[in-house]
Chains A and B, each alone.
Chain A
Amino acid sequence: MTVSDRQRSLQSSMHDMGLTEEAIERRKRIVGLEPADLGRIAAVKDVVARGAEEFMATFFEFLSKLDEARPLVTSHGLLDRARQLKKAHLAAMVQGEYGTRYVEQRLELAQLYARAGLEMLVFLGAFHHLLRAIGSAIMKQFERSPMEGFENFMSLQKVAFFDIGIIVDVLVMERERTIRQQEEAIRELSTPVLQVRDRMLLLPIIGVIDTHRARLITESLLRAIRANRAKVVVMDVTGVATIDSKVANHLLQTVTAARLMGALVIVTGLSSEVAQSLVALGIELSKINTVGDLQGGLEEAERVLGYRLLRNGDALPPPTMTEN
């Protein structure tokens, strides 16, 4: 990624997270960061700058001892960049400027943690150690006026909590993004069309049908009808809890499209609740062939295709004429 690409992606992340200038000011107010703090932070600027290397080492040493942080500390690309950003962070923390630019830097580091799969708990542990190291250095510097040293440190701590707020938000957001992607993947996988016999397909539908999934179901079914030269499809909706008008419409269209391709669709497993919903909505389903349960549906499909099921040892009945 070039520098300008990175900049653009950071800006779009800032936008996604709603980190406008107003939002940043609000975050400062929440941690209590006031103009009076800036003077106290300036008073410890030199101490922090002098110890920057050491503080950074504390942070990464803590991480290197934890199994959970292995992906970060074993990837040289990530680790080098993290060190670079952490060093910049320590310098920026005491500059007194906590605006858009500062937040962008926090965001970049947080996204790197997220990429490395760093858990929140692990990050907080490392950050705690870093703060403690800074705190000790400050207290040493203000040995003769510990109250002043403490106040200065507390002002710096406000900045630290401002930072934590952003990092935590990014880690949570990344996790939600992962969950959404997984949901998407499950949806894609969850519309199998199975061949039961020659020219006979089974389409079990389980869970929530939304319009996206309904479209996927239609597409994969029509493709399978063509590929298998199917004549009968059993669509089982036992696992569907709610069918609203939009989903019903999609199912109707699927059935119609399948019929145009020469396949008969038998719908099975409509629960009593779903049946009542469809009646209440006044949806016209008389054009659809429904059979109570999946077993009945499969038997009906076999009958339509002219199959007869015999138990081993049963005498062969005389052949009958089938509809086909």
Chain B
Amino acid sequence: MSAEIRVPIEHERDIVTARQRGRELAAANGFSSTDQTLVALAISEIARNIVSYAKRGEVMLLALEETGRRGIVVIARDEGPGIADPELAMKDGYSTAKSLGVGLPGAKRVMDEFKLETQLGKGTTVTMKKWVR
């Protein structure tokens, strides 16, 4: 398995770096141009959440290969305040920060697998996978 890519997230420019790396990795693993954009979009949304809510964290990107299919996994970790109501946070249009409130649900929609783990006061980890179609 290829080496993981880690992008520390603290400033807005790190969001751009993370999604560019994600797009490159997706391109290198045979994703279509549209899917590269969707992967970049999902990374952008969750990295943006780190900057907005947790101040700093990390996005890890990894190429996947299992039972004959290829894909990538994106893991975003932070040690921020955590999410009080994860179910509500996954609802369209819900936001505590006057944004559109489509980031988390949107990211979930464009990826194939999506897992949100969060603990109040401890932080949040989002794991998402997308397979080559």
Q: Which residues of A contact B (CB under 8 A)?
A: 208, 210-212, 241-242, 244-246, 248-249, 272-274, 276-277, 280-283
Contact = CB atoms under 8 A, between A and B. Distances in A.
B83 to A, nearest CB: 17
Contacts of B69: none
A245 B16 contact: no
Nearest to A252: B100
B38 A277 contact: yes
Contact of B99 (A208, A210, A249, A272): A249
19 contacts: A208-B16, A210-B15, A241-B37, A242-B37, A242-B40, A244-B103, A245-B100, A249-B99, A249-B100, A272-B34, A276-B34, A276-B38, A280-B38, A280-B109, A281-B41, A281-B45, A281-B103, A281-B106, A282-B102
Nearest to A180: B13
A182 B60 CA distance: 28
A-B complex: 7 closest residue pairs judged by Cβ atoms: A273-B37, A281-B106, A244-B44, A277-B41, A280-B110, A281-B102, A210-B12
A283 B106 CA distance: 9
Contacts of A277: 37-38, 41, 110
Interface string B10-21: 001101100100
A212 to B, nearest CB: 7
Interface of B: 12-13, 15-16, 19, 23, 33-34, 36-38, 40-41, 44-45, 48, 92, 99-100, 102-103, 105-106, 109-110
A42 to B, nearest CB: 43
Contacts of B23: 241-242
Nearest to B34: A273
A276 B37 contact: yes
Q: Is the interface of B mostly helix, strand, loop or mixed?
A: helix
A272 B35 CA distance: 11
A188 to B, nearest CB: 15
Contacts of A246: 48, 99, 103
B48 A274 contact: no
B97 to A, nearest CB: 10
B45 A210 contact: no
Contacts of A242: 19, 23, 37, 40-41, 44
A245 B37 CA distance: 13
Given A277-B37, A280-B38, A245 B106 contact: yes
A277 B40 CA distance: 10
Contacts of B109: 280-282
Given A211-B12, A244-B44, A282 B99 contact: no
A217 to B, nearest CB: 15
B95 to A, nearest CB: 10
